[in-house]
Structure 1
Amino acid sequence: MWVITVFINKDDIKMYEFETEKEAREAYRHIRGYKLLTEMVTLEPSPALVTI
């Protein structure tokens, strides 16, 4: 998942989520203001690492 975080002012932050990098980069070009493009990565624990 890709996320664009836009800082409009000190009290207003908007976040947009995208499934692909291509979608996110296209939207990034059209969004005005201070913005960050981030790839969100989630890791699932390996069964061998989980202890009960």
Structure 2
Amino acid sequence: MLYAALRHAIGMLRVDYRQVHCGEVAVPADPDTLILHHVSLRAMVQGSYWK
């Protein structure tokens, strides 16, 4: 599940980087917000998601 979530996050991050590059969206103050569901992904990596 973590691997699938990470692959999805990487794909969506590439989409967001392209939007920033093309000027469609501004660069956020916290770049982690460009990662879709970054809070859940961080919890998975830390091991607290499944508790």
Same fold (TM over 0.5): no
TM-score range, shorter chain: 0.3 to 0.5
TM-score (norm. length: structure 2): 0.32
TM-score (norm. length: structure 1): 0.32
Higher relative helix content:
2
Rg comparison, structure with higher value? 1
